[in-house]
Chain A
């Protein structure tokens, strides 16, 4: 399954407060330039007094000439079938936009580096790590509608359980539950595209989601049950 991956960042893990390393970190750079190639950087970078880093900016990004940010900018998200307006800095991830600005907290922040899958949402029918996508990347742009984003809150109205969520309950595929919404979203996206999965395929499909409590046995069973109930006409 296509999950957007964040570039590996060897610098972030330690010494983030070191006075010896004031430079631009790679992840921050990715956030600044938007990862889309449209956000201009020269002014953004100057605004952050990091002009020295401009030498590393690819020419095609600098050349686009259009400046967005670095301050908050208005944007429109197509979220769970609704249109949501918000104003955030271009560097804000989709995950932080959902959690901090729209109070949609089903997607969890765990690794914040595209590894654990706790933040999984469905973007244009594909499971995506929302910590590794900028909100602005999936927002409306140039008059064209942005991506269709589904969060776990959009699976069913409050009080109703989606068949995948229900199968997680039935099979006790959750303990502390912090990884669970991410699993449910990965599982949902996968089953919507693959109605007859084998267990080996399921293991690969959910290999991008991590659990610390060790609920994987329940998850394996839950996927089997969910596949059956989704075939039965639901969803």
Chain B
């Protein structure tokens, strides 16, 4: 009876259309309360004490002076004396006071004595990192030595991406409030359903059990992979609230946010790649390294990226540093692997005297299952960029100080839906709700759930209420890795269909039909072959008497016909490089992206536009700059940790691949893939413009001028 598939998109009134996000007015009117905005009666403010040293042992903590400060209510020690801190910004203590100013004053009066220990904050190559290396991964496929020896052309280069931060505009943090032994956390989190369990596992204990903890996050101000956990400040906040009997707000300050609340691992590689004269790739060899902070986070990269050259040798070393803890950053490892691979292939194409798009097309079968998709995406991107008309061999030869260039890159991501549960309720008055313990990071999750529910019920979007951002709703996965849209679309479709089928059973007798013969369209329940036999949605629901219907939906384990995984994507960049100032301007970025069945084209396109801009930002500006002498982050503020502004780039063109062959794949996640390629596409465009490679991101003026000085064409 259950009929879980997607309707054909040409029959859909909502799915696949451009629909404005449901919470848009809440946000643009400034009325919706983020965690940072929650003000509870008699609430205290808490501030963190962070280690000023990159590596040190805490010798003693004297809180006596702080305790006597005006308004101070409680102090919580996070790192006990005797324990070590591993980065500047490592959490040591927290203090709660009546006002934010008092808390800040008191935090500075907590006297912590440290014994300084040696640190390393530069992600140097392993040979120079001494004992600070770990996790040597090595893999050899085929005969790379022989392949590279026999290659007609080889290219060698060194490429890399430094550590950058997440820089969520809403800092990490929460408000904690106790009512008896029940804790409510207004948390800025990507993991509403998962936080209660983490709180319940805390040592020493905070809450008696997970079901005594409720997490609320109706909206949140950005996560990008850095807000999965309760974090030390979350636990400290809950403890301070318990100690004081007051609600407590603890949000990180901006410098703390940039120092401690997440960084993307760096990755560098020395690459040798070989091809035949016709461009056929024959061999790859790379020695890569990078740092994920003090732990070996991030894992080894799988190089080369996307283009699987059969004969290869790869080796990866993790450098352990005191830069700060790494966290998953939108498409973990992929932007780095992409930059390294696509730069190396672009340099090889230049050596071959080949158009790099042609090189990719020549080797497209090495991309595997998605070869046809990539080929089509490259063609579409080339058309939108006018690639054939604009492209020139490396090094623009025209006179003048502004050199223009083009670059290309392709990328991939999985994006299968995560575990998800949805309850869909139809009330006798006709109102409909869908409830999930999911969250909307700004991607449009709330809107997608509403669209799927309304489409299934044949109702307008306004008729559906979406309940998310609350851990009391059915458990849902954390929002990371582009897993949310697949998960919630499947569970919601199943729940809505299950609820609707129950309604059909109630209504069928009055229409003199079998439940299976009914459909819900345009606010009516009607007989499929005889649309004139119909009753309105309201009349149908009135037959429920006093008992609402609940449809339960769960994303199928393993294969689920409503979703799948594995997407491609091609991007092309056009840049202008001022050879006098070294300033790179991205004039145009074309992004062609597939993601299976698109639920909301408007928010999907926004994801891609946003990813392109985030990509331009890390390509040109972002770098968590560390000072080896002091071990400090030198740019833990928004003035020197630069984000692109509205005028810092030119045109962006987004094209979503749609049509039956994409729709039939079901829903696939989209958050990660489009952020992967910009670095490589822009770096390649700069090389094309000035005739030489700027080896590492960001492509800052000093680096560009340095390369030009060494004798690039321009």
Contacts and interface: CB of A to CB of B under 8 A. Distances in A.
A184 interface: yes
Contact of B88 (A15, A20, A151): A15
Nearest to B639: A115
A156 B610 contact: no
Given A14-B52, A109-B36, A96 B100 contact: yes
Interface stretch (B233-241, B253-261, B357-365): B253-261
B614 A152 contact: no
B250 interface: no
Interface in A142-175: 151-153, 155-156, 158, 161-162, 164-166, 168-170, 172-175
B255 A16 contact: yes
A41 interface: no
A17 B643 contact: no
A67 B222 CA distance: 42
Contacts of A13: 255, 632-637, 640
Interface stretch (A57-65, A203-211, A227-235): A203-211
24 contacts: A12-B255, A14-B634, A14-B636, A15-B88, A16-B50, A108-B34, A115-B637, A116-B643, A158-B29, A158-B31, A161-B25, A168-B27, A174-B27, A176-B169, A177-B23, A184-B30, A204-B647, A206-B647, A207-B647, A208-B645, A214-B611, A214-B613, A215-B610, A218-B609
Given A16-B50, A92-B101, A212-B222, A113 B647 contact: no
A28 to B, nearest CB: 9
B638 A116 contact: yes
A200 to B, nearest CB: 8
B461 to A, nearest CB: 14
Given A14-B636, A174-B24, A214-B614, A207 B646 contact: yes
Nearest to B92: A17
Given A17-B50, A100-B39, A204-B647, A213 B31 contact: no
Contacts of B21: 169, 172, 174
A168 B632 CA distance: 39
A175 B610 contact: yes
A137 interface: no
A103 B635 CA distance: 31
A178 B112 contact: no
B167 interface: yes
Contact of A175 (B30, B37, B442, B652): B442
Contacts, number: 232
A176 B222 contact: yes
Interface stretch (B103-111, B481-489, B538-546, B561-569): B103-111
Interface residues of A, number: 73
- Interface centre among A92, A162, A204, A210, by most B CB within 10 Å? A210
A209 B646 contact: yes
Contact of A216 (B37, B259, B613): B613
B31 A19 contact: no
B24 A178 contact: no
Contacts of A196: none
Interface of B: 20-21, 23-34, 36-37, 39, 45, 49-52, 88-89, 92, 99-101, 107-108, 110-113, 167-171, 219-222, 224, 251, 253-255, 259, 441-443, 602-603, 605-607, 609-614, 617, 630, 632-640, 643-647, 649, 652
Contacts of A91: 101
Nearest to B70: A71
Closest 10 CB pairs of A and B: A106-B30, A214-B613, A177-B27, A178-B221, A176-B442, A203-B647, A214-B610, A175-B442, A152-B30, A105-B37
Nearest to A9: B637
A180 interface: yes
Given A99-B37, A169-B28, A181-B28, A220 B100 contact: no
A103 B255 CA distance: 25
Contacts of B635: 13
Given A17-B51, A162-B29, A210 B112 contact: no
Q: Which of B170, B259, B612 has the most CB of A within 10 A?
A: B170
Contacts of B222: 176, 178, 212-213
A218 B637 CA distance: 26
Contacts of B640: 13
Nearest to B633: A14
Contacts of B255: 12-14, 16
Main SS at interface, chain A? loop
A214 B645 CA distance: 9
A32 to B, nearest CB: 11
A103 B31 CA distance: 11
A178 B217 CA distance: 14
Given A14-B634, A108-B36, A178 B614 contact: no
A213 B224 CA distance: 9
Nearest to B51: A17
Contacts of A177: 23, 26-28, 32, 219, 221, 442
A181 to B, nearest CB: 4
A113 B37 contact: no
A14 B259 contact: yes
B614 A172 contact: no
A37 B93 CA distance: 36
Contacts of A4: none
Contact of B220 (A8, A14, A172, A176): A176
Interface in A169-198: 169-170, 172-181, 184
A176 B111 CA distance: 38
Contacts of B29: 106, 152, 155-156, 158, 161-162, 165
B51 A217 contact: no
Given A166-B25, A175-B610, A184-B28, 13 more contacts: A15-B88, A92-B101, A110-B638, A113-B638, A172-B602, A180-B27, A181-B30, A206-B646, A208-B645, A212-B222, A212-B614, A213-B222, A218-B609
